[in-house]
Amino acid sequence: MAGVWGRRVVVGGWVGVLGLAVVAGWPVGASATAAPAGLDIARSNACLGCHAIDRKLVGPGFAQVAAKYKGDPQAQKRLEAKVRDGGSGVWGVIPMPAHPRMSDADIKTVVQWVLEGAPSK
Ligand code: HEC
């Protein structure tokens, strides 16, 4: 009798542990993949040292940039060139530095992300 009860308890314990592992594992996995590629590129190229998402820092907030160019079919190309070559005069006198070492693919992705309003996921 005691033996049967003992096994039930052990089996129940394992199911409980597995269940917990699954529940605890979900949010970790989800947040690891949630950051968009554009945000990763912006982080790793120090864009966020001068740009915030929703307010002006040294440069305009990325959400402001998205609003300004909303519906402009030339914006993607124009802003890719601006990130690569730098420039000033659109938002003020402080120049945007050039980024000659960034790959075209990275520039394309980060500009696309900015024009989408720089979502955090
Ligand atoms: C040293 C500060 C600084 C850094 C670093 C920086 N920016 Fe800028 N950025 C600016 C400033 C200042 C402006 C406004 C330029 C202007 O008025 O024409 C600007 C403007 C922009 C614009 C709008 C351009 C326009 O013509 O409307 C985009 C898009 C942009 N930055 C993206 C980026 C990205 C992407 C990175 C990282 C690869 C980055 N910036 C890094 C300072 C910076």
For the segment 29-77, what is each residue's pLDDT rounded down to a tens digit?
444 567 899 999 999 999 999 999 999 999 999 999 999 999 999 999 9
- Percent over 90 (pLDDT), the chain: 70
Mutate which of 40, 41, 50 for ligand 1? The one with the most ligand atoms within 8 Å of its CB, which is 50
How far out from the chain centre does Cα 6 lie?
Answer: 50
110 lines ligand 1 (CB under 6 A): yes
The response to whether 50 counts as a known ligand-binding position is no
Q: How far is the CA of 95 from the centre of ligand 1 (A)?
A: 8
Q: Which two tokens stand for residue 121?
A: 């996921």
In the predicted model, is pLDDT for residue 17 greater than 50?
no
* DSSP per position, the chain: -HHHHHHHHHHHHHHHHHHHHHHHHHHHHHHHHHS-HHHHHHHHTTGGGT--SSS-SSS--HHHHHHHTTT-TTHHHHHHHHHHH-B-SSS-SSPBPP-TTS-HHHHHHHHHHHHTT----
Q: What CA–CA distance (Å, rounded) separates 103 from 110?
A: 11
Q: How far is the CA of 10 from the centre of ligand 1 (A)?
A: 60
Ligand 1 centre to CA of 88 (Å) is 9
**CATH no. of 35-121:** 1.10.760.10
Q: Judge if the beta carbon of residue 79 lies within 6 A of ligand 1.
A: yes
pLDDT at res. 30: 43
91 lines ligand 1 (CB under 6 A): yes
